[in-house]
Structure 1
Amino acid sequence: MIGPPPTPYPTRSSLAFSQVPGSLPGDVVPKDIDLSIFPSLGQEFLSNLKRHVLSADAIWRDFFALTGQLRTFNGAEQVFSEWDGVLLERDLGEWKMENASVCRMAASISWVDVSFTFSVEKKCGRNGESRNGELRRNCFGIVSFVPDGGGKWKVWMLRTMLENFEGFSHPDDPSAIFSHPVPRSTPSSSEEELEFDVIVIGAGQCGLSLAGRLGALGIEYLLLEKEAEVGRSWTGKYDSVRQHTVREMNNLPFERTYKADDPTLLPAKTVAEGYENYAEKYRINVWLGVRTERCVRKDEGWELNVRLRNETRVLRTKHLALSLGGGASVPNPPFIVGRGHFKDDVLNIGEYKNCHPWKGKKGVVVGSGTGAHDVAQDMLDAGLKAVTMVQRSKTPVYPVDWVVQGQSMMEVDPESVVYNTEIPPSVADRLVSLLPLKIERELMKVNMNGLIAANPERFDALEKVGFRVDREVVLTDSILLRGGGYYVDVGTSKHIAEGDIKIKSGVKIERFTQNGLKFEDGQEIDADLVVFATGYERDIRLQAAGIVGHEIAASLPQARVLTADGEVSGPMTPSAERLWVVRGAVSEARFQSRFIALQIQAALLGKPLPDCQWGGLNGTHKSSS
């Protein structure tokens, strides 16, 4: 068992979204706009992009299509320079423009979108050969138009993504899975060494998504899970846990994972059943009940010793992917002095299941995020005679009806629902997940600020009983940068406002007493049960060290750091040489896994994209295309 790191892992502070370029247009699109001109306008502009057709605040986000990397470019000068630089090396062809549509994502914002497909390939040398032997890329994009002050249409936003490599299968099409033999089972002999192209550790949403994509591309992989069943990452939590994003956002890759009559907010049991069904339907090659005992770099890959059924097996792989549930699997309770003096029960969120044994007694939950609210609600439902929530800092609260509205709809137009039972998830993802993070965040901010201003009573009621609400933090910031510390209100706020759940806020816990907790203001709160729901360990490197060791873990990029160009570090590019750390919510796992699988495919074919062109020791790699 690997202990704490010998020295703290290096950290760097994240930029705030306010420090990143990017702004929204106003409501600039006339209601009677003639959309028929835009497909040809898009063809004209993009086939030979010029600086003067870009708006001053133009923004371009590329998902491995033209640059071969995940990049965001800001401002007309940078967008033009980078696009022009691509054209010096690569040919863009086979343009096919689709119909135009007006996007109205808020009452005060509008633009015109045109989606398109195209191809990218390296320019040929004198004898017609492709330089460097790059794979030909089939790509998708969306170009967004706004008018300038003089009434001329300008390109404001560009979004481009790699679909697949010409001549190879598509990561959104699972048919290749069924054209290959059923994946191998565990070897009959522990002496047999097995080799794979990819080994994925962890069969949660990220591991399953990546396994599905690898299968679709015909890549030989193995998924390892320490639990005895798929979905245990959900059913192993407290009984009342559920997803706090809408059902249609939480499908795994390919077809829908859940039925139309499943709850909008899926409970853990339904999530786990969906994962099990997915693994069976798409022939996921998973070994259950496996412990990784040793993992070392070996030649051009990795060698693992794993424990299965009391035997050690040796596995080799070219690529290793860690799907460890980073940020939501290892509880991180604070140290409070005097624990030994308290005569009753103390649990952390990882140990907690339900409150039924404490019916009629007094419960205290420390924390004010989603888990803490769920525990407090469970205490109330279980019939505890007193329930107190200890809030340590201001907490953003996002009413679930607002979140559902925001996650289901791209626009204020009721006919523009995106995540629904009609639109395939892969199509919905293109409309939502391709947005530059800064633009997505600003849209969320505009919509949430409008709702908060129109409904202040929801938060005033909480503050009247002592619950401190942070009305400034945007949900995007909470998810991407903070990784928690917020509450999507599915009903518990009402019980707080009405006094069913008492609040102790803004005062530090001094120590445990024999009967409960004493605070620095001198107040004591009696308890028969104290539950610490104070979040999880956020540094995924600490979990990775348990697999690859401290030396490699220390070299991995820090998660949840916003870079100067507006990207969050780490989730879709290799963390070290042939090492991937996969994380995120289900919608992120579904979308990001397609690009990880494509990068691995290119590397296995001997024609890697830039970030998989290893150059040097210790997992460093080239960063230019």
Structure 2
Amino acid sequence: MRGFNDVPGSLPTDRIPLDFDPRTTPFPDIAEKALNNLSETPTTNDLLWRDFLCMTGKIRTVAGSEKIRKEWAAYSQERVPRDFKAAKATISRPTPDSSWVDVPFTFVTSQEGGLIGNCSGFVSFMLDDDGSGWRVWMLRTMLENFEGCGHPDDPSPIFRNPPANLSDQLEHQVSVLIVGAGQAGLSLAGRLGALGISYILLEKEAEIGYSWTGKYDGVTQHTIREMNNLPFDRTYKASDPMLLPAKVVAEGFKNYVRKYHINIWLAANVEKCLVGNGQIRWTVSVRKDGREHTIKARHLALAMGARVSVPNPPKIPDAALFKGTILDIGSFKNSAPWRGKKGIVVGSATGGHDVAQDMLDNGLSSITMLQRNETPVFPIEWVSQGQSLIYNLNVPPELADRAEETQPLKISREGVRLNFKALMAAEKARFDALECVGFHVAWDASLNDLLILRGGTYYIDVGTSARIANGDIKIKSGDKIKRFVEKGLEFESGEVREADVVVFATGYQKDPRIQAASVVGKEVAQSMRMSTGLDEDGEFDGNMMPVGRGLWLLGGAVSMARWNSRFVALQIQAELMGKPFPECRWDGAGKGYGQAMKL
């Protein structure tokens, strides 16, 4: 699989003086001139452009000045970008050695079927080598909404026309059926409500927020509170903890459902899903309150916690011989029943650390963490420092998202990588302390690589590393498990570690088709389009695109769910109006399902 080191993109050198005031240069005029005539505008050779639907009709990154000029000109023939209006410039300094000037702007495009697209973006300038002028080095564009068709960031239509409670009916027809009421399902439901698109959100559990409270008791979010708001407003109070525990997350979800009239069915289980080819693509049988309901929908969105819901413990021989308790990360709640006894946790990423900390807090007499591979460790203070510069109480979440999430993936990655590399060198002693007790640190790992390309396998250190370094939690590494024995685990070396409880915190199944099959069936699940990773220009293949005809797969952390949901909702809206984006032209003739459907 292609990695970030294989794709274009690097941070510009810091050439902007610290005392430079961008108001002394007419950047809005420079930006408007550049946007109105990009072919003649001075740019860097390594120019980057990232587009969210408004020009390319996809989520796309394009790299290289010549390529961008050609593609911008080609798309402009169809989209006719116009009415560029630039605003006040700001300076970005993502690292001590890099800087550029960002100029936000708005513009208008012509979309499919006569729709008018209201769009926004940033054009970024860097200073010439000799300091004589400014060159464009990055361009970001995004579709805000379709003129006269609502806005995915404006929930006011929800309050004017809240959805009726029709759960007593047995037959239902909606535009979108969403399965799973975690952050991804709730975010999409809110966006659809804002756009006036009918939907039903199904949740198999009896309570909102179970996707968090159903995990082990000690689970918390490992990103700061202000990154974890659901769409439209701040979900949490300023007095809530900076790292939100599961109960507070769930309460925020419940408040969101009440405030935005989310049309949710709890304790609703999908029993059968039939696929059609006409206006109604999906016919789904749902068991709720002891009765079978039939829901017909044109679009089906699976938001069941892809890649973070189904535990994936290894199969260890002779488990039946073990006299203790064997749990995985899904069945583990807390260590209280084993107070004063011996515990082993297999796995050294976030789950493994959290379980080990729980064992320590609950007074187990002996705690061993089995480390199977080198583990990347990123202290929470590093993570929160960077996040809080963008996501804080002074910046509305939707503006923070535009500044952060529109950046090409490689650029975001480089800022984090270089800052963390410098911090790791400055704080080498804290990692040396881990190595001294046998915990092997992945020194060169990049957080963004792990998040985007691997979906985990790291630890955001919220304090457990210190307990490992001081010996409260023992480490065993470099010795594979051979089998269970009556009193614990035997290793390839012949050593036996005794335990009363063994918890496998070894991650989750990464293939979302396994989980999807429980709803859509194995045949449909196997046909789902899966991402191949980064493309040659550094965009994540299939990002926010459908995985099948009228079929969407949603997931990710809250910030990702919040951001991605707005573009999924816009694509669904366009398709329902009979004016689909390219990836939604399922009849092969560029006409979606052939005609518009009432939203």
* Structure-2 change in CA distance of 1:51 and 1:468 (3 Å): farther
- Alignment correspondent of 1:154: 135
Indicate the SS of the match to 2:509: coil
- Alignment correspondent of 1:16: 3
**Alpha-carbon deviation of 1:577?**
1.0
The answer to whether 1:280 aligns with 2:258 is yes
**Alpha-carbon deviation of 1:606?**
1.1
- Alignment correspondent of 2:107: 118
Question: Quick check: 2:378–2:460 contact (8 Å CA) kept in 1?
Answer: yes
Mean Cα deviation higher: 47-56 or 332-341: 47-56
1:110-509 pair list within 5 angstroms: 110-121=99-110, 133-150=113-130, 151-188=132-169, 190=170, 193-298=171-276, 299-300=278-279, 301-409=281-389, 418-509=390-481
- Alignment correspondent of 2:15: 28
Residue identity in the other structure for 2:47: A
CA distance in 2, matches of 1:211, 1:183: 15
* Structure-2 change in CA distance of 1:559 and 1:243 (3 Å): farther
CA distance in 1, matches of 2:539, 2:80: 26
Question: Quick check: 1:119–1:138 contact (8 Å CA) kept in 2?
Answer: yes
Question: Quick check: 2:35–2:84 contact (8 Å CA) kept in 1?
Answer: no
CA distance in 2, matches of 1:431, 1:560: 27
Question: Quick check: 2:81–2:110 contact (8 Å CA) kept in 1?
Answer: yes
**Alpha-carbon deviation of 1:91?**
1.6
CA distance in 2, matches of 1:552, 1:605: 25
Residue identity in the other structure for 2:158: I
CA distance in 2, matches of 1:109, 1:236: 43
Q: CA RMSD in A?
A: 1.5
CA distance in 1, matches of 2:570, 2:175: 13
**Residue of structure 2 aligned with 1:83, choices 67, 72, 87:** 72
**Alpha-carbon deviation of 1:563?**
2.0
Question: Any idea what the Cα deviations from partners look like across 1:198-230, whole Å, max 9, x if unmatched?
Answer: 010000000000000000000011000000011
- Alignment correspondent of 1:128: none
The answer to whether 1:96 aligns with 2:102 is no
**Residue of structure 2 aligned with 1:543, choices 515, 523, 540:** 515
The answer to whether 1:582 aligns with 2:569 is no
**Alpha-carbon deviation of 1:558?**
2.4
CA distance in 2, matches of 1:531, 1:207: 30
Which consecutive residues of structure 1, in runs of 5 or more, have no partner in the other structure?
1-13, 123-131, 410-417
- Alignment correspondent of 1:558: 530
Mean Cα deviation higher: 327-336 or 298-307: 298-307
Question: Any idea what the Cα deviations from partners look like across 1:460-503, whole Å, max 9, x if unmatched?
Answer: 00000000000111110111111111100000000000000000
Mean Cα deviation higher: 33-42 or 501-510: 33-42
CA distance in 1, matches of 2:228, 2:177: 24
CA distance in 1, matches of 2:491, 2:592: 49
Question: Any idea what the Cα deviations from partners look like across 1:139-174, whole Å, max 9, x if unmatched?
Answer: 010000012334321110001000000112111111
**Alpha-carbon deviation of 1:121?**
1.0
- TM-score, normalization by structure 2: 0.96
Question: Quick check: 2:369–2:476 contact (8 Å CA) kept in 1?
Answer: yes
Q: Percent identity?
A: 54
- Alignment correspondent of 2:597: none
Question: Quick check: 1:111–1:145 contact (8 Å CA) kept in 2?
Answer: yes
Question: Quick check: 1:23–1:439 contact (8 Å CA) kept in 2?
Answer: yes
CA distance in 2, matches of 1:181, 1:367: 46
- Alignment correspondent of 1:11: none
CA distance in 2, matches of 1:604, 1:406: 39
Residue identity in the other structure for 2:304: L
CA distance in 1, matches of 2:272, 2:116: 38
- Alignment correspondent of 2:577: 605
Indicate the SS of the match to 1:241: coil
Question: Quick check: 1:209–1:593 contact (8 Å CA) kept in 2?
Answer: yes
CA distance in 2, matches of 1:47, 1:183: 47
Residue identity in the other structure for 2:554: V
Indicate the SS of the match to 2:89: strand
**Alpha-carbon deviation of 1:53?**
1.5
CA distance in 2, matches of 1:170, 1:403: 32
**Alpha-carbon deviation of 1:357?**
0.6
Which consecutive residues of structure 2, in runs of 5 or more, have no partner in the other structure?
594-599
**Alpha-carbon deviation of 1:259?**
0.3
Indicate the SS of the match to 1:172: coil
* Structure-2 change in CA distance of 1:34 and 1:277 (3 Å): closer
- Alignment correspondent of 1:415: none
**Alpha-carbon deviation of 1:620?**
11
CA distance in 1, matches of 2:511, 2:460: 23
**Alpha-carbon deviation of 1:585?**
0.5
Question: Quick check: 1:322–1:582 contact (8 Å CA) kept in 2?
Answer: yes
CA distance in 1, matches of 2:331, 2:520: 26
**Alpha-carbon deviation of 1:571?**
4.1
- Alignment correspondent of 1:9: none
Question: Any idea what the Cα deviations from partners look like across 1:426-463, whole Å, max 9, x if unmatched?
Answer: 00001100010011111111111010111101110000
Indicate the SS of the match to 2:283: strand
* Structure-2 change in CA distance of 1:238 and 1:341 (3 Å): same
- Alignment correspondent of 2:26: 37
Question: Any idea what the Cα deviations from partners look like across 1:562-591, whole Å, max 9, x if unmatched?
Answer: 222212233411111111101110000000
Question: Quick check: 2:580–2:592 contact (8 Å CA) kept in 1?
Answer: no
